Structures are given as structure tokens and as C-alpha cells.
Amino acid sequence: MKKKIRLLFLFGVLALGAIIFKLYFWENVILAVSEFNEKSNLLNNSAGILIAGQDGKLRLEISARTLDEKLKHQKLKIKTKNRIITQGEMELTRKKTSAIFTLGNLKPGERYSDIIVEFGCGDDINNMRPPLTPVNVPFGMALSGKTLTVELSDKNNPEIFPHSPFKVKAHIRNEKHKLLSTVESGLGESKKLDIPNSGEFTITVELENYYGDLIGRRTIAYKDGKEENLSQDGKPVTLAVASFLDFTGTIPAHVIVTIAARDRVVSDLVQNYDCVIISRANGLTLSTENMLNRLNASGNEAPSGFIPAADYAIIGHFTMNTVLDNGYKDDFITSLFITDLRNNDNKEIKDVFKGEYRTGYNEEIVPEIAAKLKLRPRTKKHLPMTEKQIDETWAVLPFSKLVSSDSYAIAESDPELSMKMELALQESGKIKRIVDHSEIDKIMQEAKISMANGISESTAAGIARILGAEKVVTGQISKSKFREDERYRIDLLLIDGKKAVVLDAVSAICEQSSVEKTASTLLMKFTQRKYTVPAFTNQSPEMRIKEAKIYIDFIKGIADHNARDYLAVREGLTLAEAAYMLINDNPAWTYWVADRLLYKIMYNYDDTVQTTEEGKKAADLMEKMLGNLSPSKETPEPLIMRADAQLRRGNYEKAISLVNRYLKETKLPINTFAYYLKAKAYYAMKDYVKSLEFAKKCDERDCRRLVIDLYWMLGDEENEFKMLDENGSHSLTSSLRFMILARKFKGSEYALKRYDKLPFDRRPEMRLQKVKCLLELNRKSEAAVLLNGLQNVKLSSSTDKKAFDGDVETALNNLKDIQIEWKTPVQVRKISDKYKLYIRPLGITDTGIINDTAKELEKRLEVKVVVLPAIPMPDDSASYVKTYGQYDISYVMKRIIRVFPVPEDAIMLVHITGCDLFDNTTWTYHTSYGAFVSYVQLGGILKKEYGEYLAKIISGILVEIAFKAVPGEFKGGRKCESQPCLLTRCDKPNLLINTKFEMCPTCQQEYKKVDFEKLNEIWQNMYKNMPQLKDGYYSQERALEYKKKVEKFLAEQKE
């Protein structure tokens, strides 16, 4: 039965395809196709097709794929939300059951997607979409004086309904990207724009179809009323486009967006502007390199040592912006960095702008690049047409399919699609020779190249040289939008096989069912054009180093900011390859790239390095970079670094062999770290005795930690405790071991004395150990306070949850008679009316969140809250760290406090921002210099609850700083270990849910002693003893520059 249903369904799909094919080649334009929403099962596997005929009239054909007498005279209505357009009934013929209606013209404001077909049986058709929506439709922009006219470059394009009333939007922005005005018009209409008479500005024109899809967008830069472009002597601008890195945190679905972004940026740039795109990372494993080397005799190799010169290098990254009303962090900020490679200065163009969460891919990236670089729009003359057969060999590589988003297996290759496209190319007869897919599969399997996550142009060119192909077609399929749209976007790139340059690109959006036909249709566009490969000059050594430094800097940013292991290794490897490609003839810089790859990527992501193909590539690249280097002042220990890389990869025997070679060959004093590497290798091989032998020869911190672990593995508890007592703990496991062994060998009193100096002391597992010590000492009240919040907590993956819960239950039974009285700060003591709490919004902020927080603080603390005017973030190179995509709050703070004094009646001044901050481990920050909170990390909490949670955080900081105003010897603030207490000041947003707006008895006693006059004095004097650093980052000059910026900003806000 199932087989029969599948056959019927296949027949239905083929029938629909035949209808579409027939209509398409009858020179009718299919505007939309939609499946039925079945409720009655009467209209099984049916569809509606909206057609624009040669006569210019709209027709709707409704076709059922089964012949059934029950369908005869089935009543139906064709309507929009506001009116019935027409009505009728189905007819049964010998071949099909169908109905055809002439709709006429839709009314203003109505779209094809608004059409609903409603049947008497309860079935309906809605959400009609075109089977293919072209992207980057070429159009011309003519500005005469202040009058703009927009026309399609190709009015006879059969993919675009010629009678569709396209909407044209023109956005005028100043040099700071501020929107000045927006004007709407239709194609061919002349519209006067409100543009400045002088100064720099941009006009971005967007073209929308009848469905509201953005199908074209171009930006032109103007200065004093005249168009600007950087193209000189008619030559296009050459751009080296690197990755768009993912700094969004822990949402797997975002990976799709960031992988897709680079190809989309390249595709959009090539289709709309007169520019050339080149790639730096070759993405090749050693086996592929060896294959390319074997081609030297055949003359297909690339020029040795030749690096095409780029005018600009472009790199960017995505970070999170604000959290949506549903609590999900789906809004992006894109940071774009453009470096001028035409001269050796340090100028860099930086732009930061928000993305739209529904698209994921930030559609402003390409217009921003075009505006900043003043790119010239592409015209027909840039790509002349041809109808002749092309006397070349082409290869179609497997596509990357970036549509999965529910796990780390975020992408897959789609070889079947490339095979069908290859067949379409053969049937067209336009290309003389086409490489068979079996040859491509063989090469890619031997070279271990995966198309799942896409490949660079250099990789594609490397494959082309192996295959003897002049041109290579590659591409990707990704979701059109991140959410709320199940359609796919297809991007095809045509790459020159010799120079690894993107010659052309085509794109479209389509339904999942029409991916194959759309891709084949797009592919044919490449066969209609004549391509000229641009000539390149060799990049100078100085510019190679300048560009390589960009990629090296961002490797560190990935390691410090990326929470996803797989993606961090992939992106770090890509940037290391790009840097090495540029400076492989420079031993000192090569050594530095290897250092960054090893210690920033391979060290931080051990599991991924050991288990993935990217990890193997990283180890291979280390061998390639260091294999021929000899020890020198600039390259001191290549053998040790190679051994370390092999250890991280899991090649333990090879690591030991390299260490032995180092110990034998070195003529310098032995670096005892070599013994550590050998000990780690034996430890991984579970030879603990040999591992201990070599670990004892090294006195570095990591060696001592390894010795502690080895004593534990060998069951030597006395030596383990001795080492822990002398050297301290280094992990949650070793901290727990210390508490257990300290109680065993020296008693609970000793364990408690050392507790506060142990790492991970706020972890629930550690708090439970402290509870056990307190119970053994009969300090039940303290134990009862600490035990609060230990139920239903998140534990380490190595913790036995059943045993933990059992210990908690036992402790609760022992303390069931102990009562704890929780009190709010106001219940303990009130803040005097003469003081106020000040909030200063900083950078990107949400006014609603700020106001909700202020109201919540006034209610909870019974203190007057004053919201100061919002000010921008300082954006100097120290305050904003581009490689992280975050603001270094310690530098930001020191800019602000030099400019803005604390109000005289302040009991607290807190800065709230929606920008992403970093300060090692916390997203809230305060020292003797101030208090900051960023709400961008509050994922998982509903936006309407932000005010409550931010008020919790701020109140906790207030009380913590207030403890500095306690008379006596106590100097510092305190954090409470009892999770529900307000003073826990959680670093993890999800733990805020369990935090009370109340204080535990211990904190209450301290808060009673607070001298509020002293606290006000602390805030007044907080900024007076500013450290002066030699690097000038904290200098008064920079603070004054920032002050001018803020004053200008506030003046503009008033205007």
C-alpha cells in the first residue's frame, strides 16, 4: 500500500513538473505554485499555478492530480483577505480535473501571496509563492540632478514578470550611515530625492517584487552631488574576502548563517559591482598538496610564489545583539573590517550594524562594502554575451547544503544535484568538454576534501588543475531566511581554474521542490557570457605581512570568544591557512602563525582536534609550516611545537618520537617542557608509571598538575594530598579531591580554612563538601544557609547526580529543624532619602528595558532612581577589541570616568548596555572604578522579565560594594555562597532564576553595619586614583577625544 502511495505521489510530482515545463516554454511566466492544505483528502496531491500569459492577463489554473467523479462541480472561491475575486467549480475531463480562471488585475496593496482558493469540501490553497525568485536582478540607476530613475537592465528576462508592479525604494544615508530619507517609486518612474547639496552620502536602491521579496539592491556613493568610485583606468577593485566568523555563542543554527555568509557576500558583490574576488586560504590537506606537486611535470601548476595583489582585505564577524520578546538570542550585530592594502599605513575601515533576525544573513554587508569602497555598479558591458559553444573544459563540483541546524553536523554535501547540473550542461551543448562526476569524486576522495562546509576559490582551482579544467562551478544551498521562510537560496560561483578568481555568480530563491530545476536554470546563465580573466600583479612582501597580521589577530579572537568547538577549529584553521599562504617564505612569521594555531586553537579544543577532519588538517598544517624550519633565534623550538601538535591530535607515538629527536639534536639547554609532552603522551596511552617518570623531570605548573593526577590514578593518596596542599588545585575534580583528602588527613577545620582559596568554590559540588565539613563541626546554621539552592542544580558531567542528590537529602534531614530567615535589603535597613541610584544607558540600549529596570529598583530598594542621558560607547582600538567583537569594559570604564563625574548624591552609578562586554569570565563587572551590566547575554529569559533580573543584578552589586563601607578592618566586598542569596551575583544568567531578592542571615548582619555616608564617599572618590599606563590607553587625551564625541552625540540627539 505504501509503495502504491509513493508511486502515486511521484506521478503527481512528475505531472506538476510537466505542467510547469510546458507552461514555461510556451512563454507564459509562472508566478506562483502552491500545494493544497488538505482537510478532506478529496484533493490529494494537487496544486494551484498562477500564470502570466503572453496576453498579459493573469490566470489561475487549479489542477487535481487524480481523476475522481467526486471532484466534478466542486465549488470554489478565489479571494483575498478583503474580497472575493471570482468563484466557480471544478470540471472533469478525460485527462484531469481542473479549473481555469482569468483574474484580471489585483487591487493596490494586494499581492499574489494574498490569494486564497477556498473549496466547498474544506480544502484551501494559500501562501502562493513563485517557483523561482531571482536574486540580484540587474538594474540601472540614473541620477539627474536630484531626480532618480530606475530601469531593469534586461527587460525581457523571462524569470521576471514584465507586468509586475515592482516597488523601488531609495534610501539616502550620510557618511555615518544615518538614514536621512526614504523614497518609494515604480520602475521607470522619475522621483525627486531629498539629497544633500554637499558632503558625502550614499543612495541604496532596493527592488521588491509583487510578493515583497527583495530581488535587487545596489549602492552608489556620492560626494558633492557627484558619483564616486575607486575603479581606476577602468580596472575593477580587487578584494580579498575572508570568513565571517561566528561569535554568537552556543546556538547551533547560527553556524549555518555564518558559513553561508561568506559565499553570499561574494555572490552579491560579483553580481552587482565591478570588482574581483580572490581567496587566501587554500583549504588543502597535505595529500592534496602532494597531488598538486605531482602535476608540476604536466605544466598545470600555479605560478610558484605568486600571490595575487588585493586592494583591500575584508573580514567580519557576527555577535549577538538584543534578545527578542520570546527570550531567544536571534538578532545579530555584524562587525565589518576593511583594510587598505595599497599602502603600508595602519588605516582600517570599521563598520558595525545590526542584522534582521528573520534573515540571519545581514543584507547590509554588501551595500556597506560598496559604500565604503565606492564600488562602481556592474553593467552589461562588463560581461558581454555569447551564443557560441565555449571551447573549454568545465567541472561542476558537489554543492554544500547548509540547511540542517539541529546539531553540530550542520552541513552536508549534495553530489546528486551537481550530477544533474552536469547532465543539464551536457545536454545544452554549450561547453565543449565537461569533466565526468566520477573523476571529480575520485579526486575529492583521494584528497579527502569535503564540500559539506563549502570550499574556497583556491581549493576549487587546485581541483581544477588536477582535472585539467579551465572553469569550475561550485556553490551552496542555504535557507533563504533564518526563520519564517522555508525556501532555499542557491548561490552558484564560476571560478577560473588557473587564477582562483571568481568570474561570475548567479543566485535565486526557490521552493525545496524546485531546487534542481532552479540550479540548472541558473547554471545556463554562465554559458551565455564571455569571460576575461583579469591580470594580477604580485603582492608585495610588506602587504603580505600586513594582510597576514589581520588573520593572525583574529585567530586569537576565535579562541577567546567562540563557544563552539567544531566551528572554532574550522575558522581558526582557515585563517591560519590564509596567513601562511601569504608569508610562507618568511620563517619568523610562519613560526608565529604556527604558534597561534597551536596555542590558541589546538590547545583550547582538544576533543575536536582529536576527532575531526579539521583537527587532522590542523596537525598537517603544523607539519607543513614547521617541518623545514631549523632552531634559530626567531624560530627557537620547531620540534617541540610539532610534538605538541601531534599530541593534541592524538598521534602519541609520533609525539614521543619528535620529543626524542629534540632531546638528541638540541644544542641548547633542554627545555623541560619536552618531558611534559612525553609524560602526557604516556598518560594518554595509560602507561602511568612511565608518565610519572617523565613528569617529575619537569617543574612547570602543568607538570605538577599532571603529577597530582598521576598519584590519584596510581592510588597514592598521601603524595596526592601533599602535592595538592603545596601547589593548590587546578580543576573542579582536584578541588573536590583536596576537600575529601583534607578531611581525611587533617580534619574538617583545616579543609574549611583552605576552602575560600580553592578554584570552583561556588560550584554546587564544592558547596556540598563545605556543608559536610560544617556538619562535622556541628555548625548547623551555617550549613543550612549554604545548603539552600543545592536541589535541582546543574552539575558537572563527571558528577554522579544520584549520589549528589542522596548526600543533599541526607544533609537536609539533619537540618530539618533549622529555620532560616530571609530579608530584603529594605527590611534590613533603608537607604536615606538624600541619596539616589543613577543609571547611565551606554551604547546600544533598549529604552523599555532601562525603564523597567529603574521601576523595579525603585520598588525593591525604595530609593529614587535617575536615568541619565544615553551616551555612545568609546570606539578606540583599546575599548573595542575587533578580534572579539566585544568591548573591553575595563578600558571603556576608564574612558567614561575621566569625562563624567559621579553625581554628588549618588549611592550608586551603574552603566547598562546592550553591547557585548568581556572581562575574562563575567558579563557583569565592577571594581573600584564603577559598575556595568550588559543584558545581551540574558538568553532564555523573557524580555518582559528583564527589568526584574537586571534589578537583581544591580541590587547585588550595590550591596556588595556597600560592604566596603562597613567600619572596621573589613575592606572588600563579599559574594555569598548561598545560591538563593542576592549577594551570589550570578555570572550565569540561567542561575538568576533561582536567586532571591533577599539576603541570607550572614549577609544581613554585614549590611546592618554599612555606613551610607561612607558609601557615598566611596563613589565620589572611586575614580580619583586612576592608574597611569605607559601605553597611553588611559591617557587624558583619549578621554578628551571621547568627551568631544559624546558632546557631539548629545547635541545631535537634541536636534
pLDDT digits (tens, 9 = 90+) for 982-1023: 877 554 544 455 567 888 888 898 899 999 998 888 888 776
Question: What is the per-residue pLDDT across 172-191, written as a single tens digit (0 to 9) for each?
Answer: 988 777 788 999 888 888 88
Smallest CA-to-CA distance from 320 within 950, 891, 878, 935 is with 935
Share of the chain above pLDDT 90, in %: 25
Whether the predicted pLDDT of 390 surpasses 70? yes
Question: What predicted TM-score, i.e. pTM, was given to this entire model?
Answer: 0.78
Identify the band that residue 552 occupies on the pLDDT scale cut at 50, 70 and 90. Answer: very high
How much is the CA Rg of the chain, to the nearest whole Å?
A: 33
pLDDT of residue 299: 43
Exposed / middle / buried, residue 153 (Cβ in 10 Å: 0-12, 13-18, 19+) = middle
C-alpha cell belonging to residue 1024: 580619583
Round to whole Å and give the CA distance between 1013 and 1022: 14
Cross-strand bridge partners of residue 238: 276
> What interhelical angle do 801-814 and 764-776 show, nearest 10?
40
| Ordered structural domains, the chain, with CATH | 2-128 (no CATH), 133-228 (2.60.40.10), 237-379+538-557 (3.40.50), 382-526 (3.40.50.10070), 716-818 (1.25.40), 825-1041 (3.40.390.10)
pLDDT higher at 314 or 151? 314
C-alpha cell belonging to residue 213: 521579496
Whether the predicted pLDDT of 291 surpasses 50? no
C-alpha cell belonging to residue 810: 541526607
How far does the chain reach from its first CA to its final CA, in angstroms?
Answer: 73
Identify the band that residue 763 occupies on the pLDDT scale cut at 50, 70 and 90. Answer: confident
Average pLDDT, the chain: 78
- Of the listed ranges 21-35, 153-167, 871-885, 1023-1037, the least confidently predicted one is 21-35
Round to whole Å and give the CA distance between 597 and 644: 11
C-alpha cell belonging to residue 592: 608565529
Which amino acid is residue 173, in one-letter code? R
Whether the predicted pLDDT of 295 surpasses 80? no
Whether the predicted pLDDT of 973 surpasses 70? no
Smallest CA-to-CA distance from 943 within 519, 397, 439, 327 is with 327
Listed in sequence order, the residues at least 6 apart from 158 whose beta carbon sits closer than 8 Å to its beta carbon are 24, 27, 29
Round to whole Å and give the CA distance between 1055 and 1052: 5
Residue owning grid cell 627557537: 636
pLDDT of residue 103: 67
Smallest CA-to-CA distance from 531 within 391, 429, 636 is with 391
pLDDT higher at 942 or 887? 887
Q: How far is CA 386 from CA 149, 389, 507, in A?
A: 29, 8, 20
pLDDT of residue 952: 86
For the chain, give the number of residues. 1055
* pLDDT, average across residues 62-76: 62
pLDDT higher at 616 or 945? 616
